[in-house]
Chains A and B, each alone.
Chain A
Amino acid sequence: MGESLTMPLPARTTETSEEMLAGLFNRHQERLYRLALRMSGNVESARDLVQETFLRAARRRSLPGGEPGREAWLVRVLVNLCRDRWRRRRVRRHHEDALPARSSAIDPESAAVARATVRAALARLRPRRRAVLVLHELEGVPAARIAGLLGLRAATVRWHLSVGRKELSKLLLTESEELGR
């Protein structure tokens, strides 16, 4: 990945215009959708998350200047939206205690089972940790760049990666056992 390891300092803000928003949408919608799908594990949620992220950008009078700043802003908004949903869902799950992804377990295809397992395990991680793991493990983004995107310190990102990997290993084991039953 040819991404730079250091994030430039946040530039001044730029006033939003229709052209700027349209350009931003064209450049980032695909990447944000994939991130949203990996974070939420659900196509409809991913679509909603992407839409809400861009609507939030449209409601602002200005956005950070420079492409890296705007990209980081979009990623952060998306991760925060995921976190809000996760909190709401956690309250609901407290009563239901059921993962929506389990319905895929009846799919005989092993790839589908693997996806269901990963989706269910990822869904149990805290959103910020999930974002760090998804960005690093699935999108191949280096830790320093993740720090810039999420507004965290590089050491915090490394800590999330280390703890998240252990947590995810346990969760994957649990999920695969539950799906195997």
Chain B
Amino acid sequence: MNNRDVAVLGVGYTNFNSVTPEVNWKELMFEAAQKAYQDAGIDPRTDVDSFITCAEDFWEGFSIFDEFTPDQLGAALRPMHTVSGDGLQGLANAYMQIKTGLFDIVVVEAHSKISELLTYEDVVQLSFDPIYEAPLSKGVHPYYVGGLEMREYLEATGTTEEQCAAVVVQNKRNAFCNPLAEFEAQLEVDDVMNSRYAFDPLKALEIAPRADGAIVFVIAGGEIARSLTDRPVYVEGIGWCSESPWIGSRSSDAAYVKRAAQMAYRQAGIENPQLIDIVEVDDQFAFKALQHLEALGLARPGEAGYLMAEGAFGPQGQRAVNPSGGSLGCGHLMEASGLARALEGVLQLRGEAGPRQVEDALVGVAQSWRGLPHGTGAVAIFSRRE
């Protein structure tokens, strides 16, 4: 691989809200894009070489979504494509376009206007295998698969339901310090344990509520970033992976994250992931945060729950995990969820995280999972290179 390095030149974002009736989805994207270009100090009409959006037609409510994205990003008549995947997968595309030297400045956008999808559960149901899986659960909420996967994880690792509940407590508490977050709450483990089961052992409070929002990253070659900003955050590595789409064939240890992390760590030259300061993992379901921490090598199998319950991943712990509040605190932003995790990493490494700032953070990791019923994940490593 060539030696050109890749950096985040600017970021822009909207608030994350449960509903956004004051704007349409294009205007939501425009707000994030405008802020990102201002943050990067660039003009999209003259300075950006390529644009990437991340979206899936069914979330958007119309087909061939990718044709509807240029104007609100300043991308008309420019190279542009859509990744049908999470924002970190879009970031991987930008990373490659810059690493290869094909382009110098690339924009990545991901968003959620999921409040406008009035039949969310039907769309999720449509993503089940139509022959073998979907016919079994007509009329049942498709998140039951989360309950199946949670039980398998608990059985395999000895993790307890209380330890999963501790994730909800921490992330919703962390969200108090994040002005973007929508779902902050002061809960105790007992509150979560006493809440209703949705899909035993998964409780309703352990499921991230959905939110609207848009996030835009401006990515550049390192030499360009250094000439335009005095606070570049480098993308040191990025990996992605998909495991079997068959519900009955999947691992209980988030193998998709293990493989993606190996790829990202290798590129970043990270031999010991324990040296990472800021960790943002996917927590669409509370147990997923623990499973993902173990898959990232930040805890041994079965240990993440214990460490979480002990506060080791809290603001005063040995390592900050989801200081943003995660999806449980910020809201699940669909294909923008991975960029939301990455956004926190960038703000922390720039020293712009306000009351939740982690001192002396040098290296961060952001991890995404595309959600049920599938097994695709991505991992990105960021650093500010002291």
Partners in one complex: no
By a beta-carbon cutoff of 8 Å, the part of chain A in contact with chain B is none
